[in-house]
Each structure stands twice: as C-alpha cells, then as structure tokens.
C-alpha cells in the first residue's frame, strides 16, 4: 500500500435543502486497501457512494482518483477511469445466461456498441475473459444457465463478476452479503479476501453485518450524520466507545465479540 493514494476525498459535501447528507468528508485510500464504511441507517453511506460513482454531484468538495479530478463526472466516465460499483439489489440481466452478462460488461469496457455486445458470444477474446472471471469467482459451472434461475448468492457473484469485467482499480461493494445465508456470506468473504490478495483491486465495502466488516477490512470508516465519526484499524473501531454509542446506545457493548 505504498506510493501515492488511489482515492482522495477533500471536504466533500452533499446538501439537500438545509440537510447535509454528507458533510465535510475527508478520506485518503491507498491502492490495495480494503476499507469498510459502516454507520447507522441514515448515516450518509449511500449518498457518499453516489458521489464517488457519479450518480450524484456534490454540493462542494473534491474527489481525485490517482491525482485526477473526477468530481461531478457522469457515471460512465468515472467507470471508464477505473471505478465500478455493485448495488444492494441485483443488477443483472435475468433473461441472459450468466456468461452473457459478463460478456456484455467486457464489451462495454472495450467501448463497443450494444448491438455488437449482443454478438459478444461469437468473439473468442470476450468469451475467454468472461470465462476467466467466472472461474475466478467459482461460478464457471453456471455459465450457460439463465441468470434468473440461479440462487440469490450466485446472482450476487455474477454481479461482482460484471463489476470486475470493467477492469476497475476501485471497487465499491454496496451491502454485498445482504439477504444471504451464512454459507453464501462465507463465500463472499472468501472471494473478497482472495481478490484483495491479488493486489489488483482496492475495495470500499458498505455492510451491515459486522462480522463481515471485521473479517475483510484493513481499516473501517464509521459515518454518523453524514460525517466521519471514527476511522482506523478494526481493533481500534471495535473498542471505540463513540462507535458503540452511535450503534447501540451502549458504550459497554462491543459491536462484535473479539
């Protein structure tokens, strides 16, 4: 994680009328880090993701990616520059096969038209890249199945494969284990860990399951009322009385037992 930071957020604000959903946020994320972003409902996490991914324009402040100002750029331009995002709700084409979903994302990264993308399965390079991603995530055996017929947990993995098909440097995972069984959650944890070890990706992860957070994060950012409440390694966050108070209203109860 040496070298210049991948992402720098400087006094970022988003106001809706008189309400600040994100207020004076500062954040520096080195390349290769897995940073979890947590906070009570309404803390501003989704708005913060929307600002980073271009789905919203900030009221003020600055976002830079590898030193390039990306503040307020539209989502497609931010994606082309190396930022990709998953969503809480599955965002895949259920009528297509699993492999076709990934192939379409590969062609989009190459700047091809949707018409050409519909013929992606005839392109061997695209096929191979899609198959490699499916293998990396352990779902290659599902490639020929319609995406709408596979399990919920597998659909989440397909969506992550689609995200990775855009060859991002910065991956924003939004509640990746929401609605999953314990077994499916364990698969996602193992997948994020394995991808992080490759050194090719920097992860920002929002997650309500604190066991997932403490299993995958190098650092944890706690947001509260649109601001940073705490930022640090998992053990420091686990024992932080302000964090426990914000979550549980109890300074004596740990978020996750050690």
The neighbour count for residue 218, using CB atoms within 10 Å, is: 16
Query: Structural domain of residue 208, as residue ranges?
Result: 1-82+174-258
The span from the CA of 198 to the CA of 72, in Å, is 30
pLDDT at 90: 65
At 117 the pLDDT is 47
Q: Which of 137, 167, 197 is the last residue of a domain?
A: 167
Among the candidates 144, 167, 190, a domain finishes at 167
Radius of gyration of the chain (CA): 19
> Do 74 and 193 lie in a common domain?
yes
- Co-location of 15 and 70 in the same domain: yes
Supply the CATH number for residue 59's domain: 3.40.50.300
pLDDT digits (tens, 9 = 90+) for 95-143: 999 999 999 888 876 655 444 445 555 678 888 999 999 999 999 999 9
Instruction: Confirm if 6 and 31 have CB atoms less than 8 A apart.
Output: yes
**Same domain, yes or no, for 5 and 120?**
no
Q: Are residues 28 and 74 in the same domain?
A: yes
Clarify whether residues 129 and 158 are in a common domain: yes
Are 69 and 95 found together in one domain? no
Give the model confidence (pLDDT) of 4-52 as tens digits: 899 999 999 999 998 999 999 999 999 999 999 999 888 999 999 999 9
The number of distinct structural domains making up the chain is 2
Please indicate, yes or no, whether residues 229 and 206 belong to a single structural domain of this protein. yes
Give the model's pLDDT for residue 114: 47
pLDDT in the model for residue 119 = 52
Query: Which of 131, 148, 167 is the last residue before a domain boundary?
Result: 167
- 138 and 252 share one domain: no
Other CB atoms closer than 10 Å to residue 54's CB: what's the count? 21
Q: Give per-residue pLDDT as tens, 193-226.
A: 999 999 999 999 999 899 999 999 999 999 999 9
Over 70: is that where the pLDDT of 177 sits? yes
Q: What are 233-257's pLDDT values in tens digits?
A: 999 999 899 998 877 665 555 666 5
Is 139 found in the same domain as 200?
no
Q: Are residues 124 and 238 in the same domain?
A: no
Continuous segment of H or E residues that includes residue 221 = strand 219-224
Mark whether 99 and 227 lie in a shared domain: no
Query: Do residues 257 and 187 share a domain?
Result: yes
Give the per-residue pLDDT at 116.
Answer: 46
């Amino acid at each position: 994680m040496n070298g210049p930071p991948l992402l720098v957020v400087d006094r970022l604000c988003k106001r809706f009328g008189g309400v600040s959903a994100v207020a004076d946020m500062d954040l520096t994320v080195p390349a290769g880090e897995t940073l979890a972003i947590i906070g009570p409902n309404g803390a501003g996490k989704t708005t913060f993701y929307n600002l980073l991914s271009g789905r919203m324009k900030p009221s003020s402040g600055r976002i830079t990616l590898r030193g390039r100002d990306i503040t307020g750029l539209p989502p497609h331009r931010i994606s082309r520059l190396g930022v990709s995002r998953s969503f809480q709700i599955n965002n895949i084409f259920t009528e297509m096969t699993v492999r076709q979903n990934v192939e379409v994302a590969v062609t989009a990264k190459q700047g091809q038209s949707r018409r050409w993308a519909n013929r992606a399965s005839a392109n061997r390079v695209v096929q191979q890249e899609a198959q490699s991603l499916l293998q990396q995530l352990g779902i290659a055996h599902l490639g020929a199945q319609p995406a709408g017929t596979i399990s919920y947990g597998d659909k989440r993995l397909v969506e992550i494969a689609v995200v990775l098909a855009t060859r991002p440097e910065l991956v924003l995972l939004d509640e990746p284990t929401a609605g999953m069984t314990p077994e499916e959650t364990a698969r996602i944890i193992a997948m994020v860990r394995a991808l992080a070890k490759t050194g090719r990706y920097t992860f920002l992860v929002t997650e309500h399951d604190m066991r997932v957070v403490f299993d995958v994060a190098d650092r944890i950012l706690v947001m509260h009322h649109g601001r940073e409440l705490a930022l640090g390694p998992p053990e420091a966050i686990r024992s932080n009385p302000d964090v426990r108070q914000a979550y549980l209203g109890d300074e004596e109860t740990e978020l996750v037992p050690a």
